[in-house]
Amino acid sequence: MNSKGASTSGGDGTRDSSAPRRNSKKPKYSKFTQQELPACKPILTPAWIITSFALVGLVFVPIGLASLSASEQVVEIVDRYDIDCIPEQFQKNQLAYIQNSETNKTCTRNLIVPKKMNSPVYVYYQLDNFYQNHRRYVKSRSDKQLRSTAYEQVTDSCKPEDKANGSAIVPCGLIAWSLFNDTYKFSLDSKVLEVNKKNIAWKSDQDHKFGSDVYPKNFQSGELIGGAKLNASIPLSEQEDLIVWMRTAALPTFRKLYGKIEVDLELNDKITVVIQNNYNTYGFGGKKKLVLSTTTWIGGKNDFLGVAYLTVGGMCLFLAICFVLLYVFKPRTLGDPSYLSWNRNAAGHPS
């Protein structure tokens, strides 16, 4: 296959093939056009594979241990209160209890600190089986309206919670309308534990997504009251509970930040929480939990990453050992042409 070898042919020699051709149509040479760019061709040699699996295993196990220990350091108190906070006589009819505005919603819970908790201790509320990611729900908001008063009337996307009594609701939409409205009051040994509710929302949301000139208007004034009401004299950028709530969760089980306790909690401290149990999760079988948690570099308590790393690391080491054993006991010469099917059966063509 060498075209240069064919420059002369034929016996008559009538044409002078060595004559210079000025208008040669010969393609211009470049490594790209000839598909000859220098290339490296890594192939899966046993050495490569065994090394990389062993390496991954060796790296993953310590990371896994580190993550796991970080997760173990986190002290977490979880208290489900939605059932217990309903008085005995309403246990059969939880919905009636929660929907009745007359009933007393106050409920007291006692929590024991299992381990020393260093400040800040984050207070979360956790909702289970609450679909903030439902399509009807997640789209029912108007980012423009939240950002600036100029767009107060932009409520098209907020249906069915776009207008009440003929005028636009600010903030509109199902998300805002269903704002969580349970409240917690903490006390330690009958001394009030301050919960700092400042700076619980993302700074960027406060600065850019929620306008400082946008005030709640016409909110929760419809026939059906969803969740919390908002103080109409405070601009949205300061309504941090709302901002937190409007960062919708991607999963039906989620925690949202309620506040921070900025003192250390000692072992066996008994914390009393007075809960205003207002929010209706009884209609759809949801759960409400109060969570107190510290954090480490990896975040809150989550063993998943640590366990997963240890498992994967272990598997990799196991595979590496398997491959080594295979290599030792059943060696294959790489690239032995005798393995080629057409060299095996002399017939000449593969079948």
Q: Which of residues 239-298 bind other proteins (CB under 8 A)?
A: 247-257, 280, 283-285, 293, 297-298
Closer residue to other proteins (CB): 163 or 272: 163
CA pair distance 81, 83, nearest whole angstrom:
6
Least distance CB 264 / other proteins (angstroms) = 21
Length of the chain, in residues: 351
Q: For residue 53, state whether it binds other proteins (rule: CB under 8 A).
A: yes
One residue of 107, 138, 321, 324 binding other proteins per CB under 8 A: 138
Least distance CB 315 / other proteins (angstroms) = 7
Closest C-alpha among 259, 117, 110, 107 to residue 188:
110
Structure tokens at 83: 């059932």
One residue of 8, 51, 93, 167 binding other proteins per CB under 8 A: 8
Closer residue to other proteins (CB): 5 or 110: 5
Angle at 198 between CA 145 and CA 260, to 5 degrees: 130
Least distance CB 218 / other proteins (angstroms) = 17
Chain centroid to Cα 315, Å, comes to: 26
One residue of 171, 211, 216, 226 binding other proteins per CB under 8 A: 226
Least distance CB 312 / other proteins (angstroms) = 5
One residue of 42, 104, 166, 190 binding other proteins per CB under 8 A: 42
Q: For residue 124, state whether it binds other proteins (rule: CB under 8 A).
A: yes
Least distance CB 143 / other proteins (angstroms) = 8
Structure tokens at 303: 């063993």
Closest C-alpha among 132, 143, 210 to residue 174:
132
Closer residue to other proteins (CB): 138 or 195: 138
How many residues belong to the site for other proteins (CB under 8 A)? 110
Only one of the segments 100-108, 126-134, 191-199, 265-273 lies at the binding site for other proteins (rule: CB under 8 A); that segment is: 126-134
Least distance CB 189 / other proteins (angstroms) = 28
Closest C-alpha among 53, 69, 67, 70 to residue 312:
53
**What is the contact mask toward other proteins in residues 314 to 333, using x (rule: CB under 8 A)?**
-xx--x---x--x---x-x-
Least distance CB 193 / other proteins (angstroms) = 20
CA pair distance 194, 198, nearest whole angstrom:
12
Closest C-alpha among 149, 164, 309, 299 to residue 226:
164
Structure tokens at 271: 């914390």
> Hey, how many other C-beta atoms are within 10 angstroms of the C-beta on 312?
16
Only one of the segments 59-67, 82-90, 187-195, 259-267 lies at the binding site for other proteins (rule: CB under 8 A); that segment is: 59-67
Tokens 């919670």 label which residue? 161
Least distance CB 127 / other proteins (angstroms) = 10
Measured CA distances, 328 to 47, 57, 181, 331, 332 (Å): 12, 20, 66, 6, 10
Q: For residue 340, state whether it binds other proteins (rule: CB under 8 A).
A: yes
Closest C-alpha among 259, 301, 254 to residue 121:
259
Q: For residue 195, state whether it binds other proteins (rule: CB under 8 A).
A: no
Tokens 């020699």 label which residue? 13
Three-state DSSP at 123 gives strand
Q: For residue 199, state whether it binds other proteins (rule: CB under 8 A).
A: no
Closest C-alpha among 82, 98, 79 to residue 288:
82
Near other proteins in 90-109, by CB under 8 A: none
Closer residue to other proteins (CB): 126 or 276: 126
One residue of 20, 24, 165, 328 binding other proteins per CB under 8 A: 24
